[in-house]
Amino acid sequence: MPREAFDAELLAISADVLRLGRHVRRATDESMEALRDADLARARALVEGERSVHRERWLLEERAVAAVAMQAPVAGDLRRLTSALSVVGELERIGDHAAGIAQVNLLLGATPPRRLGFLPSMADRALAMLDDALEAFEHDDVPRAEHVCHADDDLDRLQDRVYQDAFSAMVADPSQVQRLTYSLWVAHNLERVGDRCTNICERVIYTVTGRLADTSRSAY
């Protein structure tokens, strides 16, 4: 593959990674809107639509592997391609978390209005992290990527508030245990979205600097 064609393929892969990122960002936002509105039809559509994210992830991986095989890229290019492979995996998992929220919606059933407590604040923070992560990926923005890594602590604190409120409410009214347990599942999915955003930003830092950050967290 001529160098010009390889550079064009790198740009095209990056553009498709961003397109996938924007897709899962919309799915996460819509899953929370559907949860708030007890919109079960929308939740079902989000669960079913997750299959397209899986297909897109594998297509992007095949393209990245083919680019490596055809070009024998230098170190910087290889970091960019391997990072793209990692990022699409993280984006696929964010799509899974969005579908997980939609599945909780289906379990709750059509019972509006929903009392969501700190969950909307968690969603706003997670989506802001995802926006920044995608911006950092698009522009090789290391300071922005580092900011996202630090912002994860704020999301964790919001998750703690959700847990504290839920457990207090369970003690006060045991009949609400099941419903409140579902809210904990939503909080878990949102917290994992933040972890995935941090993983994406660690890859941005690696792509630009050659240094792979390690925040000693598990996103599984």
- Reading the chain (220 residues) residue by residue, the pLDDT tens digits are 677 778 888 889 999 999 999 999 999 999 999 999 999 999 999 999 888 888 888 888 888 888 877 776 777 788 888 899 999 999 999 999 999 999 999 999 887 667 889 999 999 999 999 999 999 999 999 999 999 999 899 999 999 999 999 999 999 999 989 989 999 999 999 999 999 999 999 999 999 998 876 654 544 4
Q: Give the start-to-end residue ranges of the domains of the chain.
A: 3-209
**CA pair distance 134, 35, nearest whole angstrom:** 25
Contact 142/73 with Cβ under 8 angstroms? no
Q: Report pLDDT for 218.
A: 44
Say what the pTM is: 0.90
Cβ atoms < 10 Å from Cβ of 19:
12
Angle between helices 40-71 and 75-108 (to 10 degrees): 170
Residue 174: is the preceding peptide bond cis (ω within 30°)?
Answer: no
**CA pair distance 120, 25, nearest whole angstrom:** 15
The gap from C-alpha 37 to its chain's centroid, in whole angstroms, comes to 22
CATH no. of 3-209 = 1.20.58.220
Q: Report pLDDT for 174.
A: 93
**Hunting for tokens 């997670």 — which residue is that?**
126
**CA pair distance 72, 65, nearest whole angstrom:** 11
Cβ contacts of 82-88, under 8 Å, gap ≥ 24: 83/203, 83/204, 83/206, 83/207, 84/13, 84/14, 84/17, 84/60, 85/60, 85/61, 86/199, 86/200, 86/203, 87/17, 87/21, 87/137, 87/200, 87/203, 88/17, 88/20, 88/56, 88/57, 88/60, 88/61
Q: Report pLDDT for 191.
A: 97
